[in-house]
Amino acid sequence: MKMHMKSFVILLLPFCISSAFAYKISIYTDQPDEVKARDVLNSFKTTYPFSQFEIEIEIKSVASASLNCGPRLGNDRLIGCDTQDITREAASRGVDQVLVVKDNPNYGGSGGSVAVITSISPSTMMLHEYLHTLGLRDEYEYKASEAVNYCSDSYSGPNMAMIEPNPDGYANDGAARGQHMGQVPWGEFIKNETLITNNGGTKLGTGMVNPNVHATPNNTNSPGRLGSAIGLYEGRTCKNANPPKATWQPGREASIMEFLDAGLGAGNEAMVAKILESRGVRRKEAPPESVSTAVNSSIRRSSKPLDQNPEVNSESPRNIAK
């Protein structure tokens, strides 16, 4: 498989030896000018918490035949690729994660172990799809036909808990915590003073997710501090399941897992950072206060709302960004 590679690298060298490592991402694209791939690179470079880790990103230009992408399941927006060859080639070069930007005039993409977006789609769609790769779930409301496939009891993920409240309620917030905190993946980030119940401690939930309020995109070097406290907020993802299933999310504001113009939200930021650290990805050393905190980049050369349809690539199905 003949390929020509142009690599754009984001990497701050460590100040000390660590057992953790710089994480390597390769963006494969057949778009001649690579514009969308560069947009994707910049999105990772400037979005917290990715911007706080030593993540090396390259852009690799390949022929369309190498990607073998096309519509899946009769849906022009559901773009999947046969990724076995490129993932094998990437692994031989020490790449940890492959992403694909397909030169295609139709909006769309897919998630799974290799996230795919088209060149007409916003770069934030790649963040959404890559968060699926890390295990995060869609937060938008599934249609009944989708809920059949996705709203199983095992649908819980880093940003989604499936908890059926006690029909008779709870004696108090402490009782609810004792029963359910082990079911909340982000439970360690819920402060003691943040209730996970309402109505005097008798009803489960800090509150409800408000789809009309979006989490603010975070392009700073610190965790998001705008919006609600991390808690247990009732979502709508599986309300159309039969029977309806209660889903819970870390924040009151809708995140990028529902709307591509939204940020991750504080809860999802915390969980993504935890996942990266669990994989041994190294955090950047904090520079002295007198030194600019801007992320350096270098160049190394060698060769709308989310669409609520199931998405798929050659390895793992997910749901396409809305």
Render 204-236 in DSSP notation, one character per residue: E-SEE-EEEEEPPP--SSS---SSPPS--EE--
Residue closest to 153 by CA, chosen among 260, 240, 289, 246:
246
Residue closest to 236 by CA, chosen among 132, 104, 122, 147:
147
Q: Which residue is it, tokens 């299933």?
A: 245
State residue 76's pLDDT score.
84
Query: Taking all residues of the chain, what is their mean pLDDT, rounded to a whole number?
Result: 85
The pLDDT-based confidence of 20 (bands split at 50, 70, 90) is low
Residue range 8-18: mean pLDDT, rounded: 36
Least confident of 90-94, 172-176, 291-295: 291-295
pLDDT at 42 > cutoff 70: yes
Look at 259 and 2; give whichever has higher pLDDT.
259
* Strand-pair partners of 210: 253
State residue 287's pLDDT score.
56
Residue range 167-187: mean pLDDT, rounded: 97
pLDDT at 136 > cutoff 60: yes
Q: Provide the token pair at 138.
A: 């869609």
Taking the alpha carbons at both ends of the chain, their separation in whole angstroms is 34
CB 92: neighbour CB atoms within 10 A?
Answer: 8
Least confident of 27-36, 121-130, 195-204, 288-297: 288-297
In the chain, which ranges are continuous DSSP H helix? 35-46, 64-67, 84-92, 123-133, 144-150, 173-180, 266-278
The pLDDT-based confidence of 314 (bands split at 50, 70, 90) is very low
State residue 217's pLDDT score.
97
State residue 131's pLDDT score.
96
State residue 111's pLDDT score.
86
The pLDDT-based confidence of 170 (bands split at 50, 70, 90) is very high
Residue range 93-116: mean pLDDT, rounded: 94
Task: Answer for the pair 162, 260: CB distance below 8 angstroms, yes or no.
Answer: no
What lies within 8 Å, CB to CB, of 312 at 6+ separation is 72, 73, 78, 80, 110, 112, 318
63 burial level (CB within 10 Å; 0-12, 13-18, 19+): exposed
Q: Domain ranges for the chain, please list them.
A: 4-138+289-319, 144-258
Residue range 228-235: mean pLDDT, rounded: 97
pLDDT at 2 > cutoff 50: no
CATH code linked to domain 4-138+289-319 = 3.40.390.10
Residue closest to 209 by CA, chosen among 149, 241, 257:
257
